[in-house]
């Protein structure tokens, strides 16, 4: 299976204590096909600048074969003391701020420049792409795209760009000698929790935002993919990042939760499920930024154009990375003109070309096969619902049963039925896999489509596919999704290295990728009013 997928020579770091003075092209690697329970890749925690094992390790199953291939620290709550001590040692003023250690802004501009240069090396780029494929299987093109987006982010913040993130402003005061200035101030000790689906991009972009603004983050990544974050940290250290600037905690979420309760980080960024996000919001007393569930919609306008391209984009949005993107197309509102033109048939044809051999469809890490097919059956109980395509398990594979494996699936639900209270919750349940709901609307029914968008609870990404500017503006004016693409090339999925990416409509909503996102999530406003005189004469003073 691995050889057929082109993964047989995928490099995966086996030695946790590498001599990082060597060029990355000389890093020791092993053939993943030879990894086993007796010869696994081994990860380590990072705390206070030191790489450390935990008392227990968890053997992770290969998501394609079920065989053990990575040993990850299974850190337990009784082992968190060093992490708590490390985070508590960070002052509220951070490791740097506009008035303290400003040279560190330049340091991180230099680190970013060096990391980008390393990631331009073909062997380093390929290393990370193959590593991503091994732990979160997706096509090589999708994995490589993740690496390149991350590299471009580092390029964006090389040189003086980190310093510019801390740019403030001044206002004149009331009298001579007084000036009011606004400053971007770090939180100090912070926490960062990221999911499995983008094991390099999300940790890298949010981690660097925290570091750029002067914070010390405690990083926790889903155990199934945390080896990627570990290798990123080793690369950052190789490129000049002080080893003690970040702590990495491998282990279950319960251990990270215990650490946070003890260490009390002053802010937390969480990307992941809505259920965990809401619990974190309570446990942190609201000191959290969230990028949680994304039931993302696409509305097709009445004007039909570039049918083949639009069908291709719909397929990419719904099924690339096996639908395991928080921006994946969850619900398609297709105008009847698109349906008559054959959009759904073209989507079905494209979906049928996806196969496990090249990982254009693959394991689903958070939904089982039974759960996804069970949800399809739940939808099929709605009057008028039907399977458009898919709806069956993948065959001829050795994916472990703990993971899901289903064909790219689309379930049609009539718009009027979807809006009924007894059906709406099922229709708008996010399935984090190759699964979408499709409905059809016609002239005069746009208010119903907008009602559906209004009633949804998550507002991450969306698309309005139309060249009709009046239609586009009307839909945009009456919806709230934080990242919304508009125009005939509109999509729901897109790389956030060149634009803001995040939800809207929730004051806890996080952002990623841009200077604005970094400032909002990883710094706060501090106003400093300087007032040096001259002091007025005593005769001018009066009681009030």
Report, as an integer, the average pLDDT of 38-60: 88
pLDDT of amino acid 541: 83
pLDDT of amino acid 528: 97
pLDDT of amino acid 21: 30
Report, as an integer, the average pLDDT of 238-259: 97
What values do phi and psi take at 441, rounded to 5?
-130, 160
Mean pLDDT of the chain: 91
Using an 8 Å Cβ cutoff, are 310 and 504 in contact?
A: no
497: left (phi over 0), alpha (psi -120 to 50) or beta: alpha
**pLDDT tens per residue across span 158-179:** 999 999 999 999 999 999 999 9
Other CB atoms within 10 Å distance of the CB of residue 18? 18
Q: Which residue has the tokens 């972009």?
A: 205
pLDDT cut 70: percent of the chain above it = 92
Number of H-type helices and E-type strands within the chain: 18, 20
> Would the pLDDT of 372 be above 50?
yes
Please report, for the chain, the start and end positions of each structural domain, with discontinuous segments joined by +.
Answer: 46-292+514-524, 297-486
Confidence label for 381 from pLDDT (cuts 50, 70 and 90): very high
From 79, 155, 291, 430, active-site residue: 291
Residue 26's alpha-carbon distances to 200, 225, 227, 237, 409, in angstroms, are 21, 23, 19, 16, 43
- Single pTM value for the model: 0.92
Which of the residue ranges 36-40, 89-93, 352-356 would you say has the lowest mean pLDDT?
36-40
pLDDT of amino acid 40: 59
pLDDT of amino acid 31: 39
**pLDDT tens per residue across span 279-309:** 999 999 999 999 877 899 999 999 999 999 9
| 46-292+514-524 has CATH 3.40.605.10 classification | yes
**pLDDT tens per residue across span 116-151:** 999 999 999 999 999 999 999 999 999 999 999 999
From 326, 430, 440, 453, active-site residue: 326
pLDDT of amino acid 83: 98
> Would the pLDDT of 63 be above 70?
yes
**pLDDT tens per residue across span 531-541:** 998 898 887 78
CA distance 281 to 289: 8
pLDDT of amino acid 494: 84
> Would the pLDDT of 2 be above 80?
no
What values do phi and psi take at 81, rounded to 5?
-55, -45
pLDDT of amino acid 274: 86
Q: Which long-range contacts (CB under 8 A, 24 or more apart) does 146-149 make?
A: 146/198, 146/200, 146/201, 147/119, 147/200, 149/201, 149/495, 149/496, 149/497
Please say if 326 is a catalytic residue.
yes
- Please count the CA atoms within 13 angstroms of the CA of 314 that sit on its side-chain side: 33
Report, as an integer, the average pLDDT of 480-490: 96
* CA-based R_g, the chain, Å: 25
> Would the pLDDT of 3 be above 50?
no
> Would the pLDDT of 7 be above 90?
no
CA distance 443 to 453: 17
pLDDT of amino acid 536: 86
CA distance 41 to 83: 23
Q: Is 542 helix (H, G, I), strand (E, B) or coil?
A: coil
The total number of residues shown for the chain amounts to 544
What CATH number has the domain spanning 297-486?
Answer: 3.40.309.10
DSSP labels, 470-517: HHHHHHHHT---SEEEESTT--S---TTSS-B---S-TTB--BSSHHH
Report, as an integer, the average pLDDT of 326-341: 97
Please say if 291 is a catalytic residue.
yes
> Would the pLDDT of 335 be above 90?
yes
pLDDT of amino acid 39: 54
């Amino acid at each position: 299976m691995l050889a057929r997928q082109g993964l047989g020579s995928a490099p995966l770091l086996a030695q946790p204590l590498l001599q990082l003075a060597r060029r990355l092209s000389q890093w020791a690697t092993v053939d993943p096909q030879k990894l086993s329970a007796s010869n696994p890749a081994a990860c380590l925690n990072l705390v206070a600048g030191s790489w450390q094992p935990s008392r227990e390790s968890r053997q992770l199953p290969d998501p394609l074969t079920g065989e053990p291939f990575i040993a990850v620290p299974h850190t337990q709550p009784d082992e968190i003391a060093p992490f708590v001590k490390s985070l508590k040692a960070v002052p509220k003023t951070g490791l740097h701020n506009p008035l303290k250690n400003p040279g560190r802004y330049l340091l991180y501009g230099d680190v970013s420049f060096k990391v980008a240069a390393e990631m331009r090396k073909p062997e380093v780029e390929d290393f990370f792409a193959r590593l991503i494929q091994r732990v979160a299987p997706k096509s090589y093109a999708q994995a490589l795209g993740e690496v390149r987006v991350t590299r471009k982010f580092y390029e964006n913040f090389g040189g003086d760009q980190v310093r510019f993130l801390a740019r403030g402003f001044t206002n004149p005061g009331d009298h001579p000698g007084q000036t009011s200035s606004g400053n971007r101030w770090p939180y100090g000790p912070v926490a960062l929790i990221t999911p499995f689906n983008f094991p390099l991009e999300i940790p890298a972009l949010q981690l660097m935002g925290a570091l750029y603004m002067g914070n010390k983050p405690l990083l926790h990544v889903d155990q199934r993919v945390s080896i990627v974050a570990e290798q990123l940290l080793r690369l950052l250290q190789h490129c000049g990042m002080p080893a003690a600037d970040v702590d990495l905690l491998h282990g279950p979420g319960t251990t990270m939760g215990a650490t946070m309760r003890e260490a009390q980080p002053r802010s937390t960024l969480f990307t992941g499920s809505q259920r965990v996000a809401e619990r974190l919001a309570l446990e942190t007393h609201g000191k959290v930024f969230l990028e949680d569930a994304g039931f993302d919609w696409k509305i097709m306008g009445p004007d039909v154009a570039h049918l083949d391209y639009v069908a291709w984009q719909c397929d990419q949005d719904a099924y690339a990375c096996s639908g395991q993107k928080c921006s994946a197309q969850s619900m398609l509102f297709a105008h009847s003109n698109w349906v008559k033109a054959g959009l759904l048939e073209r989507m079905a044809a494209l979906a049928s070309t996806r196969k496990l051999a090249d990982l254009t469809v693959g394991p689903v890490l958070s939904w089982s096969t039974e759960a996804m097919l069970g949800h399809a059956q739940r939808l099929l109980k709605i009057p008028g619902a039907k399977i458009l395509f898919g709806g069956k398990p993948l065959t001829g594979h050795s994916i472990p049963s703990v993971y899901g494996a289903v064909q790219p699936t689309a379930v049609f639900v009539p718009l009027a039925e979807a809006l009924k209270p007894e059906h709406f919750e099922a229709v708008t349940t996010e399935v984090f896999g190759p699964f979408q709901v499709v409905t059809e609307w016609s002239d005069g029914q746009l208010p119903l489509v907008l009602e559906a968008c209004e009633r949804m609870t998550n507002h991450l990404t969306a698309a309005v596919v139309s060249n009709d500017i009046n239609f586009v503006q009307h839909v945009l004016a009456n919806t709230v999704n934080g990242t919304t693409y508009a125009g005939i090339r509109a999509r729901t999925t897109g790389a956030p290295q060149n634009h803001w990416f995040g939800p809207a409509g929730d004051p806890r909503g996080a952002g990623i990728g841009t200077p604005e996102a970094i400032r909002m999530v990883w710094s706060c406003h501090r106003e400093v009013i300087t007032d040096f005189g001259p002091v007025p004469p005593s005769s001018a003073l009066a009681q009030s």
